[in-house]
A and B are shown apart, each in its own frame.
Chain A
Amino acid sequence: MNRLSEYMLPPAKSVTAETTDALFTFINNTSLILLAGITVAIIYFSWKYRRRSDDDVTPVISHNNKLEITWSVIPLILVLIVFSWGFSGYMDLRTAPDDAYEVKVIAKSWLWEFHYENGYVSVNELHVPAERPVKLVMRSDDVLHSFYVPDYRVKMDVLPNRYTSLWFQTNEPGESIIHCTEYCGRNHSNMNATVFAHSQEDFETWLETAASADDDMDPVERGEMLITRNACDTCHSADGTRLVGPTFEGLWMSEREMEDGEIVTADENYIRESILDPNARITAGYDPVMPSYQGSLSDSQIDAIIEYLKTLQ
Chain B
Amino acid sequence: MATTDQNKTKKVQVRRFKPEENPEKHYLNQEKGLWAWLTTVDHKKIGLMYLASIAFFFFIGGVLALLLRTELLTPAQTFIDADVYNQVFTLHGAIMIFFFLVPSVPAALGNFILPLQLGCKDVAFPRINLASFYIYVIGAIFTFISITTGAVDTGWTFYTPYSATTGTSVLMMTLGIFILGFSSILTGVNFITTIHKLRAPGLTWNKLPLNMWALYATSIIQVLATPVLAITVLLLAMERLLGIGIFDPNLGGDPVLYQHFFWFYSHPAVYIMIVPGFGIISEVISTFSRKIIFGYWAIALSSLAIAFIGFLVWGHHMFTAGQSSLANMVFSFLTFLVGIPTGIKIFNWLATMYKGSIDMKTPMLYAMIFLFLFTIGGFTGIMLGALAVDIHLHDTYYVVAHFHYVMMGGMVMAFLAGLHYWWPKMFGKMYNEFWAKVTAVVLFIGFNMTFLPQFVMGSQGMPRRYFNYIDQFQGFHQFSTIGSYIIGVAFLMMFAYMMHSLFKGKKAPANPWGSRALEWQVSSPAPLHNFDHTPVIIHGPYDYHQPMSEFQLGIATSHNGHHAGEPVTVEKSVTDKV
Q: Which residues does chain B contribute within 8 Å of A89, judged by CB atoms? A: 387-389
Query: Are B379 and A31 in touch, CB under 8 angstroms?
Result: yes
B434 within 8 A of A: no
Q: Which residues does chain A contribute within 8 Å of B167, judged by CB atoms? A: 287
B479 within 8 A of A: no
Query: Are B320 and A157 in touch, CB under 8 angstroms?
Result: yes
Question: Which single member of A58, A62, A79, A93 contacts B355 (CB below 8 Å)?
Answer: A58
Query: Are A90 and B388 in touch, CB under 8 angstroms?
Result: yes
Q: Which residues does chain A contribute within 8 Å of B387, judged by CB atoms? A: 86-87, 89-90
Q: Which of B346-398 contact A (CB under 8 A)?
A: 346-348, 350-351, 353-360, 368, 371-372, 375-376, 379-380, 382-383, 385-392, 394-396
Given contacts A146-B320, A156-B322, contact A181 B395 (CB under 8 A): yes
B455 within 8 A of A: yes
B52 within 8 A of A: no
- Nearest Cβ on chain A to B354's Cβ, whole angstroms: 6
Q: Which residues does chain A contribute within 8 Å of B350, judged by CB atoms? A: 38, 41-42, 45
Query: Are B357 and A71 in touch, CB under 8 angstroms?
Result: no
Given contacts A59-B355, A179-B463, contact A90 B162 (CB under 8 A): no
How far, in whole Å, are A65 and B463 apart by their CA atoms in the complex? Answer: 45
Question: Which single member of B328, B372, B383, B394 contacts A42 (CB below 8 Å)?
Answer: B372
Query: Are A42 and B368 in touch, CB under 8 angstroms?
Result: yes
Given contacts A46-B368, A68-B295, A72-B340, contact A27 B386 (CB under 8 A): yes
B19 within 8 A of A: no
Q: Which residues does chain B contribute within 8 Å of A64, judged by CB atoms? A: 294, 351
Q: Which residues does chain B contribute within 8 Å of A75, judged by CB atoms? A: 339-340, 343
Q: Which residues does chain B contribute within 8 Å of A151, judged by CB atoms? A: 461
Q: Which of B96-104, B178-186, B213-221, B467-475 contacts A (4 or more CB under 8 A)?
A: B467-475
How far, in whole Å, are A162 and B357 apart by their CA atoms in the complex? Answer: 62
Query: Are A86 and B388 in touch, CB under 8 angstroms?
Result: yes
B329 within 8 A of A: yes
Query: Are B391 and A20 in touch, CB under 8 angstroms?
Result: yes
Query: Are A183 and B155 in touch, CB under 8 angstroms?
Result: yes
B396 and chain A: residue at smallest CB distance: A181
**0/1 string, B242-258, CB within 8 A of A gives 1:** 00000001100111100
How far, in whole Å, are A159 and B248 apart by their CA atoms in the complex? Answer: 11
Q: Which residues does chain A contribute within 8 Å of B368, judged by CB atoms? A: 42, 46
Query: Are A67 and B351 in touch, CB under 8 angstroms?
Result: yes
How far, in whole Å, are A133 and B383 apart by their CA atoms in the complex? Answer: 27
Q: Which of B285-293, B420-428, B526-534, B550-558 contacts A (4 or more CB under 8 A)?
A: B285-293
B254 and chain A: residue at smallest CB distance: A161
Query: Are A62 and B294 in touch, CB under 8 angstroms?
Result: yes
Given contacts A9-B460, A58-B291, A146-B320, contact A38 B466 (CB under 8 A): no
Q: Which residues does chain B contribute within 8 Å of A94, judged by CB atoms? A: 325
B480 within 8 A of A: no
Given contacts A41-B350, A157-B320, contact A10 B460 (CB under 8 A): yes
A60 and chain B: residue at smallest CB distance: B545
Q: Which of B304-342 contact A (CB under 8 A)?
A: 320-322, 325, 328-329, 332-333, 336-337, 339-340
**0/1 string, A5-21, CB within 8 A of B gives 1:** 00111100000000110
Q: Which residues does chain A contribute within 8 Å of B162, judged by CB atoms? A: 143-144, 183-185
Given contacts A75-B343, A153-B391, contact A51 B359 (CB under 8 A): yes
B472 and chain A: residue at smallest CB distance: A10
Given contacts A35-B379, A72-B340, A188-B465, contact A150 B392 (CB under 8 A): yes
Query: Are B354 and A183 in touch, CB under 8 angstroms?
Result: no
Query: Are A63 and B296 in touch, CB under 8 angstroms?
Result: yes
Query: Are B254 and A27 in touch, CB under 8 angstroms?
Result: no
Query: Are A93 and B388 in touch, CB under 8 angstroms?
Result: yes
B519 within 8 A of A: no
Question: Which single member of A67, A90, A162 contacts B325 (CB below 8 Å)?
Answer: A90
**0/1 string, B224-250, CB within 8 A of A gives 1:** 000000000000000000000000011
Question: Which single member of A49, A82, A85, A86 contacts B356 (CB below 8 Å)?
Answer: A49
On chain B, the number of residues with a Cβ less than 8 Å from chain A's Cβ atoms is 91
B83 and chain A: residue at smallest CB distance: A186
How far, in whole Å, are A57 and B468 apart by their CA atoms in the complex? Answer: 59
A66 within 8 A of B: no
A213 within 8 A of B: no
Query: Are B344 and A49 in touch, CB under 8 angstroms?
Result: no
Given contacts A8-B460, A83-B336, contact A188 B467 (CB under 8 A): yes
Q: Which residues does chain B contribute within 8 Å of A186, judged by CB atoms? A: 82-83, 86, 153
- Nearest Cβ on chain B to A130's Cβ, whole angstroms: 20
- Nearest Cβ on chain A to B565's Cβ, whole angstroms: 22
How far, in whole Å, are A79 and B338 apart by their CA atoms in the complex? Answer: 10
B496 within 8 A of A: no
A180 and chain B: residue at smallest CB distance: B463
B348 and chain A: residue at smallest CB distance: A68
Q: Which residues does chain B contribute within 8 Å of A80, judged by CB atoms? A: 336
Query: Are B354 and A52 in touch, CB under 8 angstroms?
Result: no
Q: Which of A179-209 contact B (CB under 8 A)?
A: 179-190, 192
Query: Are A27 and B375 in touch, CB under 8 angstroms?
Result: no
Q: Which residues does chain B contribute within 8 Å of A182, judged by CB atoms? A: 159, 395
How far, in whole Å, are A82 and B250 apart by their CA atoms in the complex? Answer: 40
Query: Are A56 and B357 in touch, CB under 8 angstroms?
Result: yes
Query: Are A58 and B391 in touch, CB under 8 angstroms?
Result: no
A148 within 8 A of B: yes
Q: Which residues does chain A contribute within 8 Å of B353, judged by CB atoms? A: 41-42, 45-46, 49
- Nearest Cβ on chain A to B454's Cβ, whole angstroms: 11
Question: Which single member of B256, B390, B391, B455 contacts A8 (CB below 8 Å)?
Answer: B455
- Nearest Cβ on chain A to B8's Cβ, whole angstroms: 25
A280 within 8 A of B: no
**0/1 string, A139-161, CB within 8 A of B gives 1:** 00011101010110111110111
Question: Which single member of B166, B356, B382, B392 contacts A45 (CB below 8 Å)?
Answer: B356
B268 within 8 A of A: no
B298 within 8 A of A: yes
Given contacts A86-B386, A189-B82, contact A160 B339 (CB under 8 A): no
Q: Which residues does chain A contribute within 8 Å of B464, judged by CB atoms? A: 181, 183
Q: Which residues does chain A contribute within 8 Å of B467, judged by CB atoms? A: 188-189
How far, in whole Å, are A45 and B328 apart by their CA atoms in the complex? Answer: 41
B161 within 8 A of A: yes
How far, in whole Å, are A24 and B461 apart by their CA atoms in the complex? Answer: 14
- Nearest Cβ on chain B to A123's Cβ, whole angstroms: 19
How far, in whole Å, are A64 and B295 apart by their CA atoms in the complex? Answer: 8
- Nearest Cβ on chain B to A28's Cβ, whole angstroms: 8
A-B contact pairs, 11 of them (CB 8 A): A24-B459, A34-B375, A46-B360, A58-B357, A75-B339, A83-B333, A89-B389, A90-B328, A150-B461, A157-B322, A189-B469
User: What 4 additional pairs, Cβ within 8 angstroms, besides A20-B391, A64-B351, A87-B332?
Assistant: A35-B376, A38-B372, A57-B357, A71-B344
A residues contacting B by CB (< 8 A) are: 7-10, 19-20, 23-24, 27-28, 31, 34-35, 38-39, 41-42, 45-46, 49-52, 54, 56-64, 67-68, 71-72, 75-76, 79-80, 82-83, 85-94, 142-144, 146, 148, 150-151, 153-157, 159-162, 164, 177, 179-190, 192, 287
Report, nearest first, the 9 A-B pairs whose CB atoms are least far apart.
A150-B461, A89-B388, A86-B386, A56-B357, A90-B387, A31-B379, A189-B466, A161-B249, A58-B291
